[in-house]
Structure 1
Amino acid sequence: MKKLDFQRLMDDSRFMKVLSVGVAILFWFVVAFTISPTITTTVSDVPITISGSNETLSSVGLDVVDGQNRTVRVKVEGRREVVGSLKPSDIVVYPVLTSVTEAGKYTCSLRAVKADSAADFTILSVSPEQVELTFDRVKTLKTELSVAVSGYTAEEGYILGSSAANPKEITVKGPESAVDQVAKAEVRLDGKDTKLAKTAKVEAEVRLYAADGSEIELGSTLSVDTPKVQVTIPVLKKATLPLKVAFTNLPSGLDGSALQYDLSETAIQVAGPAETVDRMTAITLGYVNVLDFDYKNGYTFQVQDQLPTGFVNLDDFDSVAVSFGSRYDGGSFTVSNINVINAPENYDISVVTRRLYGVKFVGLRGDIDALEGTDIVAEVDGSSIELKNGQYNVPVQLSTTSGAMVWPTGSYEVVVKVSAK
């Protein structure tokens, strides 16, 4: 191994240059950190901070609407190793707001403090020393979001439904003077001749408009809580479906499908979500309570009230009349055949009422004409009676022994006597 020849290194000009630079750097560190450890420097891009809970602004109901997003430079002094690593977040710069008493523009002095009061450096100055800020009363406005859609069409056999935005409402916030100019919030979509075969969802930007139709620009002072919303463009499938009515409170043995009626409209053209339309065989207009059967006047049902969610009526009628013609009739009867069923073992239940008068039945005209009071049976269900000695009014269930297409309307009671055996 060759020995290191220091003499040759000393004679090498390149080595001497490198050595000189290294020695100079070493001496600089020695001077900087021992002889002159304190330096002055400037921290740039320090933001101006205005607390949302500032007492001065809160007391007069104002807020900063312009000028608060500026930055400043702060001159500091301290040990080189401390100030050399300072960041804008290590300093808090705030305006003095004691002169702010009403809405308007103010020139406010700036103050700077250390974010950490224990930090070992000194703040010397702020540049600029003042800032111009605009103050106003901040107002919020909740408004419905309208939707304007153009340039979209539906495939054959479909139609476009009413487009809707989600959310349906937005909140506008900003200076009172600016918010008061807002007359409408809207999203606008242009499909540029797009043809749809299924429901589409499109993201769109919210726009604000004044009463004269001019657009109001959103910015640092005027904002909305939801700048972009999702717009649903429904694509509805067309179909023609038969109409019908249903009957409720049918007595045992009475088949509702056997009850005949006439409709002013027997079918309707609608449009709705394809998955729902494909499952439907008819639309039920409403329900007829047979216990309150108005066979003389019939019924009228509003179509839109009975359509499933998301359906629209494509026909030119809004209501359908249900009539029964001369098929049905009614009569009043006296019932003396009153029995107790499901009687308890330890109590006697006797019927005090001997006859029920004015019992009303309706049904097919021919069956009503042939019905007699002796064909009607009134039954008291003993299992539903409170088992205490005494007399009570209790309901009865009415039926016929004739097998005719008839049924009772209204409700009826008899008096029974309960006594322990």
Structure 2
Amino acid sequence: MEEVKENTKNTPISKKIKNIKDKGTDFSLRILAFIIAVISWFIMSITQFPTINKTISGVHVDFNMDGTAAEEKGLEALNYKDITVDVEIKGMNYEIGTYTENDLSATVNLKDVTKEGTYLLDIDVRSNHTTDRCTIVSVTPDTIKVDFDRITQKTIEVTAEAPLVSAEEGYTLNKTSVTPEEITISGPKNELDKIDRVSARISKSKKLSEDSSMQAEELVFYDADSNKLDSSKFTANSASDYSVKFEIYKKKVLKLSVNITGAPDGFDVSSLPMKLSEDKISVITPHLDDPDEEDLELGDIPLSSIDLKRAFSFKIPQKNKGEVNMSGTDSVIVSFDKEGYSSATFTLDSENIELVGTPTVFISEIDNEKLPNVVLYGPTEVIESMTDEDIHAKVSLSDIKEIGSYTKEATIYAKGKKNVWCFGTNEVQITVSKPKTDDSSSSDSELS
């Protein structure tokens, strides 16, 4: 009885040992089954499907110019962007069956790139596993178009472009300037050669009454035909680095006149039948506080040189520094209308010649008895009514310093006539001497 009980107690332990042995056997069987499956698949791959075709998408294309002739010649790819290709491969199923895009390498073939230009380049693909028997069947796309050029620099003047900026009424926009004046641009040589001008552009609208500066909003590149160029092809400073200055001038009218010299007292200069080819001109001035109108004297005309035939030409001078003549003409012709005017020749009696300004220490006498051939001009009705007795003259001796004989020019006029003048030069012979004193007067002076 005791033995039976002892065997009964040991039964659970035996079962545990048996379970452990059973599990170990099951695990081993599983490993063995896996190995058999792999071997079976391998055998099937070789015997049933020895080669396969497979398409792999998204294979990255590597673009590398290191060590190429293009790099040695200083060429750069202008428009290349990273791409991927789809590749169809062929090979043993057990070798390529698990291939992904990481198992292939795609590169751009640059061997034909030796100078500037546009190339259609092949895309080469290979397996990353040199021992695998992998054949490239097709590549989509199999070529890529790339432009090559040398990257150079060009320095060019920057001009201002502000179509909506103008001056207020009464002012004008004289000129614009850009600071800095030049720009250095980097880019492909062929593209740089197309640049004819560069503008610092301001698009905002504004009216100005004084000098002003604004920051450029955009740099615009133009060719010789004023077509805009693609700025993305160039490398340059940004528009914010450039300032556009607007120089404002004021509009002004100059009223032109000439000065008549040598006119006798009482002569009415306004009675002269004088005409100016331009009696006023428009100018612009940097002096913004100037009046809207000013007088400008062109020069002198001696009254004695006017015979109603001769015309006088004057260059228009600059009245104030910085002013700009906007009239389109730089000279004025002064002429005289002879209609209704005539001339006559008279003889001037010496009794009608007045010597003025003789220094008190001297006395003066006229040597001429008469001055013949005195030509006078004036309105016809006035000239025809005149006689020799109407002709008078004055001779100034205020500059006399010593005694002697002098030839002096006489200023001739028609007494009581404000619109008659003398043409030409009329000279009078004058003798200047000291006053005579008697001996008695001289002795008395010495005694005193």
**TM-score of the superposed pair, with normalisation by structure 2:** 0.43
Larger radius of gyration: 2
TM-score under structure 1 length normalisation? 0.45
